[in-house]
């Protein structure tokens, strides 16, 4: 990321001293300690977490590094008897130019910690900002801290909104951010906006189209609130548009006419993803657009695009495409059309990623065999392909590194993957039936087979009905480089079906062996012993998801005491109570957020947490519970006070770090403590 600004002007009185990041005081400067702490690495509340907020009271002792970095600044106010200030090794402009080549978030963070001058240089040279929680700061703070930003990424609703645990209209609307960016003179050159789990309306899209003349990238993932009319405004007015990506969005689809709004002069498009559209598009408009955009490398189509239409598009841009999302693979094609389509695929030698296949006729699958050797990613998560056809297809994909499939491939399909894809790095196996009574068609045998054949595996998401500790131990032994292990046993409280033991030792083997583990999702019957092992060994883990596990609140205490790098914790349907929640108070400022639902929390504990941690937004989601709503209208000192609070149970708790204070757009069912 990159940025530059003059002094951060906060609400400090004129002429007052303000603490710096390291606790030092710089006279006559008005700085925002909390903001600089959060923004110095350029990704505000990022997915992997933030720097720890430090106590900047007068009693805090600066580190040797921070003391030395502040000396040159404070020497400006020293007496004439002090040694002269040494000149800087190079001008600020040179430093800013050098920092422009530092793109890693962690490296930028380290750079901004060197000294005050480098922090300011980072501020001026930063062009990309990632905000992992849109409520962790305010739009005004962003524009003050980084005025030269060209690319902004925002995330909104908690991840559990994907499972309908967050009520509709919870918040995360982009409109306040857009209004603030429009008001700031430097921000008309915003070029890229990427949103995830946020609400953006047609009004917001219109604001983008008319106020950011150089706008060129719009990526919306799991977003809602807009229609194809808003998209028409974007494509009509953003003359330099290079990327339009709509991934799993809820769109008010008013027809495919919006594609005709692309101007005749539009030739800059490099990426187009319209998989979220439900209605048929005007193929003539799509064909004309693809023909004009000679730099197009990514094309993901909706399920309404036929095989014949796909053939015509490949005839135009097939050889230049690197990523292709295919619509339906079922339409009748005559013999000549089949031969031509196969030839078109054979010409796509730059193809590296393939997805789609919403509906499949097995007869047509051999058409894509010519490009399988070039593929690095294959996404069949929407494709109902059976195991026998999948085995034929995967036998052609020797260079595959990322694979997403439904459990229809069964264990034998995964065994074929293990035999063919030795360089596989990421595997996701999702159920074809997500209903409560649905059963997965894969078992621990498929996972073990993958571990034996794919030694380079780093990431696995695996839905199954049964698992054993022995299988997990073998998996960990075969794949010690794992960084993301997400196992979902679809039946809650499931034991090792062979020994009838809890799944403690299996997950213990994962955290013991995979020392670089960053993300863990657990399921099955786990006792507190499993969490003791996780707390002891998972020192690098940053994200943890728990569902239907644990014996008592001691499990959470083990996690809070042991997982030093934990930034994000998600818990649902676990017997964790007040003691477990409050045990994390010494750690919560180091974390990004925590979600707890259907646990054993009281209003008293939630109030205590909010009181002791003022830099956290502690929110409760209350749906159709008049008792708790009535109690929340009164303070803890009214009525019987703590006794009443202790009896009131909290169903959903969500808290996160912020420098912006309580949000102002809370709906009636959200209470901020």
Rounded Cα distance, 76 and 83, in Å: 11
User: Phi and psi for 27 in degrees, rounded to 5?
Assistant: -70, 140
Q: DSSP label at 32?
A: -
DSSP string, 366-402: GGGHHHHTT-SEEE-TT----HHHHHHHHTT-TT--E
* Cβ–Cβ under 8 Å, residues 375 and 353: yes
CA atoms within 13 A on the CB side of 472: 30
**C-alpha angle 543-549-554 in degrees, rounded to nearest 5:** 85
Give the largest CA-CA distance in the chain. 93
Rounded Cα distance, 373 and 387, in Å: 20
* Cβ–Cβ under 8 Å, residues 245 and 219: yes
CA atoms within 13 A on the CB side of 215: 25
Q: Nearest Cα to 601, choosing from 634, 638, 573?
A: 573
Q: Which two tokens stand for residue 220?
A: 């919306």
pLDDT tens track for 522-539: 999 999 999 999 999 999
pLDDT tens track for 63-81: 433 333 333 333 333 444 5
Q: Which two tokens stand for residue 207?
A: 């604001």
Which residues, including other chains, have CB under 8 Å from residue 325's CB and lie 6 or more apart? 273, 275, 299, 300, 301, 354, 355, 356
Most confident region among 56-65, 321-330, 429-438, 462-471 by mean pLDDT: 462-471
Calculate what percentage of the chain has a pLDDT beyond 70: 82
User: Phi and psi for 101 in degrees, rounded to 5?
Assistant: -90, -5
pLDDT tens track for 362-406: 888 999 999 999 999 999 999 999 999 999 999 999 999 999 999
- pLDDT at 238 exceeding the cut of 90: yes
- pLDDT at 444 exceeding the cut of 70: yes
Residue 13 in 3-state DSSP?
coil
Which residues, including other chains, have CB under 8 Å from residue 373's CB and lie 6 or more apart? 396, 397, 398, 399
Rounded Cα distance, 417 and 454, in Å: 8
Global pTM reads 0.85
How many distinct helices (H) and strands (E) make up the chain?
24, 25
Length in residues, the chain: 673
**C-alpha angle 59-64-69 in degrees, rounded to nearest 5:** 100
Rounded Cα distance, 423 and 401, in Å: 6
Q: Residue 184: what pLDDT? A: 66
**For the chain, what is the mean pLDDT?**
84
* Cβ–Cβ under 8 Å, residues 21 and 27: no
Rounded Cα distance, 415 and 344, in Å: 31
* Cβ–Cβ under 8 Å, residues 376 and 353: yes
- Residue 507 CA, chain-centre distance (Å), reads 24
Residue 38 in 3-state DSSP?
helix
pLDDT tens track for 5-62: 333 333 333 333 333 333 333 333 333 344 444 444 344 444 333 333 333 333 333 3
Which comes out higher in pLDDT, residue 476 or 149? 476
Read off the pLDDT band of 201 (50, 70, 90): very high
Q: Residue 392: what pLDDT? A: 96
Q: What are the beta bridge partners of residue 425?
A: none
Q: Residue 65: what pLDDT? A: 38
Q: Residue 18: what pLDDT? A: 34
User: Phi and psi for 237 in degrees, rounded to 5?
Assistant: -105, -25
Phi-psi region of 493 (alpha: psi -120 to 50; beta: other; left: phi over 0): left
Read off the pLDDT band of 652 (50, 70, 90): very high
Q: DSSP label at 268?
A: -
User: In the 3-class helix/strand/coil scheme, how is 645-661 assigned residue by residue?
Assistant: HHHCEEEEEEEEECCCC
Q: DSSP label at 617?
A: E
Q: Residue 506: what pLDDT? A: 97
* Cβ–Cβ under 8 Å, residues 52 and 593: no
Q: Which two tokens stand for residue 544?
A: 């943890």
In this structure, the strands spanning 593-602 and 649-657 are antiparallel
Q: What are the beta bridge partners of residue 519?
A: 484, 543
Which residues, including other chains, have CB under 8 Å from residue 90's CB and lie 6 or more apart? none
Which residues, including other chains, have CB under 8 Å from residue 300's CB and lie 6 or more apart? 245, 272, 273, 274, 275, 323, 324, 325, 355, 356
């Amino acid at each position: 990321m990159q940025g530059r600004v003059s002094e951060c002007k906060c609400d400090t009185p004129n002429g007052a001293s303000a603490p710096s990041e390291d606790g030092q005081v710089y006279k006559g400067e008005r700085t925002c300690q909390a903001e600089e702490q959060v923004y110095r690495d350029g990704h505000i509340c990022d997915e992997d977490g933030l720097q720890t907020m430090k106590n900047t009271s007068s009693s805090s002792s600066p580190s040797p590094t921070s003391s030395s970095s502040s000396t040159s600044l404070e020497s400006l106010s020293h007496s004439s008897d002090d040694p002269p200030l040494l000149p800087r090794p190079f001008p600020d402009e040179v430093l800013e130019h050098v920092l422009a080549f530092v793109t890693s978030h962690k490296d930028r963070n380290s750079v901004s910690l060197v000294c005050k001058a480098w922090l300011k240089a980072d501020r001026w040279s930063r062009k990309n900002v990632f905000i992992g929680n849109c409520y962790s700061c305010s739009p005004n703070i962003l524009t003050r801290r980084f005025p030269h930003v060209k690319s902004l990424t925002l995330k909104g609703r908690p991840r559990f909104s994907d499972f309908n645990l967050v009520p509709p209209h919870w918040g995360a609307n982009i409109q306040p951010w857009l209004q603030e960016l429009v008001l700031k003179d430097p921000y008309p050159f915003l070029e890229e906006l990427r949103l995830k789990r946020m609400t953006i309306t047609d009004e917001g899209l219109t604001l983008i189209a008319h106020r950011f003349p150089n706008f060129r990238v719009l990526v919306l993932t799991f977003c809602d609130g807009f229609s194809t009319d808003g998209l028409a405004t974007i494509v009509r007015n953003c003359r330099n548009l290079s990327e339009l990506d709509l991934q799993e969005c809820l769109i008010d689809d008013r027809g495919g006419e919006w594609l005709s709004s692309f101007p005749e002069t539009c030739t800059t498009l490099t990426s187009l993803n319209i998989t979220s559209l439900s209605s048929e598009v005007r193929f003539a408009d799509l064909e004309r657009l693809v023909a004009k955009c000679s730099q197009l490398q990514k094309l993901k189509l909706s399920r309404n695009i036929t095989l014949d239409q796909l053939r015509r598009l490949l005839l135009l841009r097939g050889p230049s495409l690197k990523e292709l999302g295919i619509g339906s693979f079922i339409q009748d094609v005559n013999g000549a059309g089949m031969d031509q389509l196969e030839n078109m695929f054979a010409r796509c030698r730059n193809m590296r990623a393939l997805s789609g296949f919403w509906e499949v006729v097995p007869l047509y699958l051999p058409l894509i065999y010519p490009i399988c050797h070039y593929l690095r990613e294959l996404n069949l998560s929407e494709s109902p392909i059976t195991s026998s056809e999948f085995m034929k297809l995967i036998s052609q994909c020797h260079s595959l590194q990322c694979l997403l499939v439904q459990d229809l491939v069964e264990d034998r399909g995964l065994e074929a993957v293990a035999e063919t894809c030795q360089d596989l790095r990421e595997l996701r196996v999702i159920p074809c039936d997500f209903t409560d009574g649905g059963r997965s068609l894969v078992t621990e045998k498929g996972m073990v087979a993958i571990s034996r054949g794919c030694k380079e595996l780093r990431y696995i998401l695996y839905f199954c009905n049964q698992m054993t500790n022995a299988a997990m131990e073998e998996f960990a032994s075969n794949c010690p480089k794992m960084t993301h292990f997400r196992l979902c046993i679809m039946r809650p409280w499931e034991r090792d079906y062979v020994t009838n033991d809890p799944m403690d030792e299996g997950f213990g083997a994962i955290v013991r062996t995979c020392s670089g583990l960053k993300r863990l999702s657990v399921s099955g019957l786990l006792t507190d012993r499993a969490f003791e092992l996780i707390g002891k060994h998972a020192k690098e883990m940053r994200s943890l998801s728990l569902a239907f596990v644990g014996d008592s609140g001691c499990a959470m205490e083990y996690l809070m005491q042991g997982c030093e790098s934990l930034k994000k914790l998600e818990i649902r349907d676990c017997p964790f109570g007040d003691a477990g929640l409050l045990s994390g108070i010494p750690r919560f400022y180091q974390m990004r957020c925590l979600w707890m639902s259907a646990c054993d929390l009281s209003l008293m504990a939630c109030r205590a947490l909010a009181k002791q941690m003022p830099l956290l937004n502690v929110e409760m989601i209350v749906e159709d519970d008049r008792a708790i709503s009535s109690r929340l209208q009164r303070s803890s000192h009214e009525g019987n006070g703590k006794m009443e609070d202790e009896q009131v149970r909290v169903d959903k708790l969500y808290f996160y770090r912020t420098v912006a204070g309580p949000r102002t757009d809370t709906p009636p069912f959200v209470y901020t403590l």
